[in-house]
Amino acid sequence: MEVSILVPMYWRAVREALRVSVATIVVPLVLPLFMLTIFAQLFSSITSIPGFGQSNAYVSYVAPAAILMGAMLGSPTTGISSAMELQTGFLSRIQMSSLSMFTNLQVRRLADATRLAAFGLMLTAIAWIAGAEIKDWPLALVAGMAFAAAWGVAYGGLTLSVCLRTANIETAQALVPLFFPILFMSTAMVPLKMMPTWLQDIARYNPVSYICDALRSAQMGSLDLAATEKAIVGILTVAAITQVLIWLAERKLARD
């Protein structure tokens, strides 16, 4: 396979995302914006509850949650595009090329990662406008972009695998609400100590908890290496699981 194929395929995916920008950019950002501007203000007094243990404004606390929410809501694009390609037969055209299915999907996911990284950048800036404290801008932006892209792509693999199996766009839409329990069963909204015990157990195994901790520490200017390490392990684990699901879906596709 020639590497020269990858560049046009990457730009094709980027171009497509821009052409349906309402679906791929505007809609995924609506809820995070709501969270930073309305939700964070509405629950601003939560920080004064004993046990919260954070002296900053609540918007600073939930800024990482907004970034990850944007990443999760923006992650189904590769799955939706693949379902459409299966429906229209475009995937057969790709199959006829020297580009393997695996590479084709990874190129699309790379285009997704670019967009989600841009989400990370935008939401960090919006969080600051909404009142969040950013002590180290370069670190906050790099961490926001990297974690948004990495988590979004790893998590989006679930939608992709389902779309490859069903060739159905609606299944991708059906999976969208999944972001809700994942986010709320982590330390994205409140610290661990404020959760019921059973939820604390779940939050401890939820990679989103560690990604939020790492992002918060980056915004405060001192990266929590232990949390970052756990966040990376969590993302890699989810990426590995979803990649196996994608691989199984690809095999089914090739068999059929």
Binding site for other proteins (CB under 8 A): 2, 4-5, 7-9, 12, 15-16, 19-20, 22-23, 80, 84-85, 87-99, 169, 254-256
What is the DSSP code string of 59-124? HHHHHHHHHHHHHHHTTTHHHHHHHHHHHHTHHHHHHTSSS-HHHHHHHHHHHHHHHHHHHHHHHH
**Can you tell me the distance from the alpha carbon of 196 to that of 189, in angstroms, rounded to the nearest whole number?**
13
Rounded to a whole number of angstroms, the minimum distance from the CB of residue 22 to other proteins is 5
Q: Which one, 45 or 98, has the nearer CB to other proteins?
A: 98
Largest CA distance in the chain: 62
Nearest approach in angstroms of CB 112 to other proteins is 15
Positive or negative CA dihedral for 203, 208, 212, 214?
positive
Give the nearer residue to other proteins in terms of CB position, either 84 or 232: 84
**Residue appearing with tokens 């190129």:** 107
How far is 35 from 56, CA to CA, in rounded Å?
17
CB of 125 to other proteins, least distance (A): 26
Nearer to other proteins, 89 or 138 (CB): 89
Task: Find tokens 């989103």 and name the residue.
Answer: 208
Nearer to other proteins, 4 or 48 (CB): 4
Nearer to other proteins among residue 99 and residue 199 (C-beta): 99
Nearer to other proteins, 14 or 118 (CB): 14
Q: How far is the CB of 94 from other proteins (least distance, A)?
A: 6
- The alpha carbon dihedral of 139, 144, 145, 150 has a sign of positive
CB of 228 to other proteins, least distance (A): 36
Asked if 133 and 219 count as a contact pair (C-beta separation under 8 A), the reply is yes
CB of 253 to other proteins, least distance (A): 11
